[in-house]
Each structure stands twice: as C-alpha cells, then as structure tokens.
Structure 1
Amino acid sequence: MNYTLDFGALLSNGYPMLILGGLMTTLKMTALAWLLAFGLGSVLAILRMLDRRPLNYIITLYVAFHRNVPMLVHILLWYFGVAALLPMALNDAVNRWGGEFLFSTIAIGLVTAAYVAEDLRSAIRAIPDGQLEASRSLGLSYMRSMRKVILPQAFTIAIPPLTNQTLLLFKNTSLAMAIGLIELTGAGREIESATFKTFEVYTVVTALYLAVSLLLMFGGAYISKHRAAAAKR
C-alpha cells in the first residue's frame, strides 16, 4: 500500500499551536541559555588570562568536565540529580514554575559556557600583549583594560566560532525532550504519536530548525562583516 502525504492533517486539533508553542519554548530556552553561556564564558576567559595557578586549575577542571561529558548526561544530572538535592519546598516551587525548562536551560548554558570560554581565550591570545600593557600604563585597571580595549577586539575575532556555538546551543535544546519538555522536537513527537504522520511532522520540524539556524548564521555573518568594517575606519 502506497503512503499518501497529508500535510493537512497537521492543521487540525490544535496542532499548529502546539508546534508554535514548542518553537517559542525552544527560542526562549536558546535565549536564556545563551545569556548564561556568554556571560559565564566571558568571566571564565577573563579569569583564565590572569594566569593564577589555583584559579586556572579550577577553570580547567570546569571546562574539561563540561566538554567531555555528553550534553544529555548534563541535562539528566541537573533534572534528576541536582533537583533531588534541593529542599522539598524549593523543589516543589521549581517544578510548579517548570523544572524541565529551568534545569535543561541551566545545563545547556553551563556546557556551552565552557566552549565559549575557550573560544574567547583563543581570541584574547590573538591580540598583541602590547595592547594590554599600553592600556595599563595609561592608568586603566586590569578589568577596565579588558572591558574597554581587549574584549571588544576579542569578540570581533571570535564571532565565527561564537556563531557556531550559538547554532549548537539552539540545536541542543532538542535534548530537553528526554526529560519531558515540550519544545519543538517534543511537540513534533506528540503530534506524530497522535497522527502517525511521521514524514509530514518531521518535515515541518526540520524546516523550522533549518529556518532559525539560517537566520542565526546570516546574523553572525552580518555582525562579523559590520564589526570588521567598523574596525577599519
């Protein structure tokens, strides 16, 4: 028996709103995890450049742990492990707010922060040491030198790898489906289970992932081109 394509079946029973809701959850998770990853990653990169041995050991351990353990394991560790260590009242409050969303966002953000820290550290090391020394000789503190002189250049250099990290972060949000979060992939699975329209459902889901990924890629390319042009002025 031939399989008959029927994309119209996805337009009933509230399925479009389920897909849209899953997409919005994915985008919110991506935005919050991105803020955590890039904020923490920037701090780790700056602290790493201080070259203090005990601090370097701690940051190296953090980076190694988060880069060498699968993302899914981190999500499961936070959802089942860390949640079990919380006081009962706090755990109940988190679950009422949305534990699946919160813990998966934290896990994805912390893992991505390890990659962001390394990308930024590489970018900082690409900047001549004389620039930091010159800014310090002008009376700027280490942190102000980093904020006003070094980091703006480092972010420009690191835009391509940071764009890649953003893409990976966006796609890794699909792993939250493993703990029951109805993000984009989870919404697709719910609809597929109800309609058995596997090809149609995952074609739509794939198209949405591709559309957002392309927007992120083009956005990164535009920012990189704009920053490069501004640096030449």
Structure 2
Amino acid sequence: MSVLLDHLPALWQGLLITLQLTVASFLGAAVLGVLVTALRVSPVPVLRALGTVYVETFQNLPLLVLLVLVFFGFPYIGIKGPAILTAIVVIAVYEAAYVAEALRSGVNSVSKGQGEAARALGLTFTQSLRLVILPQALRTVVQPLGNVTIQLVMATALAGAISVVDLTEEANRINLVEAQPIAIFVGSGAAYAAIAGLIGLAAGWLERRLVIVR
C-alpha cells in the first residue's frame, strides 16, 4: 500500500490522462457513430454499403494494430501529430463502429410508422432521422452505449503503446522501479473498476429516467 501512496501524484496524473482520453474519444466516437448510423439506415444502397464496410472493418481489426500503424506509419506519408491526439482520434474512429451498432439497434426498435409519419409531414430523411427517429432510438440504447463507454475506458490502456503516459503506462513505469506489481496493478485496476462502475451507475440512472413505457 505504501508504494501507491509514495507514487500517488504520478498515478493521479496518469488517471487524469486516462479520463482525458476517455472523454475526448467518446465525444468523437459519438459524433462519428451518429454519422455512420445515418449511413447504415440510409435509403441509398451505396451509403448503406459504406456504413456496413466501416463497421465491419473496425470491428474486426485490433485497436493496438491501428494505434501503432497510425502513430509510427502515417509520418512516412506526412501525417503526424502528438501521441495523445493520435490516441484520441484512433480510439474515437475505432469505437465509433460500436456506437453505430448500438444506435442502429435503437433505430430498428423505433416503429416504422414514425418514419412514415415524418415523411407524410414533408420531412426529409435527414430531418426525420434527427428530429424523430434518433431521439427515440437514443432512449432505448442508454445501457448499450454505457457498455461501449466502459469498453472505451479499457481501450485507453493501449495508448501507452504509442508513448502516452496514461494510468496503465504510469503503473508500468512505477513497477519497473519498485518491482511490486501486485500492489501497483491492483491499485490501478481498482481505479479502472471505479470508473467503469460510475459509468454503469450513470447509464442505469439515465435509462430509468428516459425509459419509454410501451
């Protein structure tokens, strides 16, 4: 326990980086996920195909491979950025596929009559999706989106592979000096568990508040 207290400032700094990665990546994934969802439910076959290719591609590629490829490979074609920005972008792009699938399941749960009524009122596809379908879909997928967010939190631990000093990487560095892996990694693991627990509680609370009584 003393080793954790001795290195508490460093671990706290790593935790802040983890939270920064989580929030920024989730916001990016949410925006991109909505766009991909729109593609997947579009009446245009080509757009639906693009959305499907996006989801299938990123759901079947390891995140670690993408992080290493972008950070170490893209500079050869003139694309380079700070490690933390690279991690945020890659994680957001990767997790957007899972956000899109969660949202698509919500869209599919909305009665087709809602879309037909929107079209009858003269709304375009984009307007009906934004004003009618998505607001209802979001209320049904709060818990799945919470699970995706928890998955995203765990995914940020891979950012250390491209030199981002998040909580996991900070724990690794401290362990190299102190050689007390049980205390160090149990402590950092407890921090991840606490974050996941808070997200789960928040998702449960939102789900109860937004539930649609059928």
User: TM-score range, shorter-chain basis?
Assistant: over 0.9
Output the aligned Cα RMSD: 1.5
Q: TM-score, normalised by structure 2?
A: 0.94
Which residue among 71, 74, 88 is the counterpart of 1:82?
Answer: 74
Distance of 1:43 and 1:86 partners within structure 2 = 27
Aligned pairs, number = 214
Q: Does 1:201 align with 2:193?
A: no
Q: After the TM superposition, which residues 127-138 of structure 1 pair with which residues of structure 2 at under 5 Å, given as runs?
A: 127-138=110-121
Aligned to 1:163: 146
Structure-2 separation of matches of 1:202 and 1:190:
11
Cα distance in 2 between the residues matched to 1:140 and 1:187: 52
Which has the higher mean CA deviation after the structures are superposed, 116-125 or 219-228?
Answer: 116-125
- Mind listing any 5+ residue stretches in structure 1 that lack a counterpart? 1-6
What pairs up with 1:62-81 in 2 under 5 angstroms? 62-81=54-73
- Answer yes or no: is the 8 Å Cα contact 1:78–1:104 preserved in 2: no
Q: Which residue number in structure 1 is paired with residue 205 of structure 2?
A: 222
Equivalent of residue 53 in structure 1, options 36, 45, 62: 45
Q: What's 2:2 paired with?
A: 8
> Following TM superposition, by how much is the alpha carbon of 1:107 offset from its aligned partner in structure 2, in angstroms?
1.1
Q: Partner amino acid for 2:199? A: L
* 1:176 to 2:159 alignment: yes
User: Does 2:36 match 1:39?
Assistant: no
Give 1:51 shift: 2.8
Q: CA deviation at 1:122?
A: 1.6
Aligned residue among 134, 149, 168 for 1:185: 168
Matched, 1:139 2:122: yes
Structure-1-length-normalised TM-score: 0.87
Query: Could you give the per-residue CA deviations for residues 40-80 of structure 1, whole angstroms, max 9, x where no partner exists?
Result: 11111112211312222222221111110111111111111
Give the whole-Å Cα distance in 2 for the aligned partners of 1:62 and 1:205.
33
In the alignment, the residues of structure 1 paired with residue 3 and residue 197 of structure 2 have an alpha-carbon distance, to the nearest angstrom, of: 27
Q: Are 1:150 and 2:127 matched, yes or no? A: no
Q: Which has the larger radius of gyration?
A: 1
Per-residue deviation, 1:38: 0.9
Q: Structure 1: which 4+ aligned runs deviate by more than 6 Å? A: none
Quote how far apart the aligned CAs of 1:11 are: 2.7
**Cα deviation code 1:78-113 (max 9, x no counterpart):** 1112233226xxx3xx3xxxx221111111111110
| Closer, same or farther: CA 10–50 of 1 in aligned 2, 3 Å | closer
Deviations 1:110-163 (A, max 9, x none): 111011111211211111111011022123222221112111110111112111
For 2:21, the aligned partner's letter is M
Answer yes or no: is the 8 Å Cα contact 2:22–2:153 preserved in 1.
yes
- 1:232 Cα shift? 4.3
AA aligned opposite 1:63: V
Distance 1:83 1:33 in 2: 21
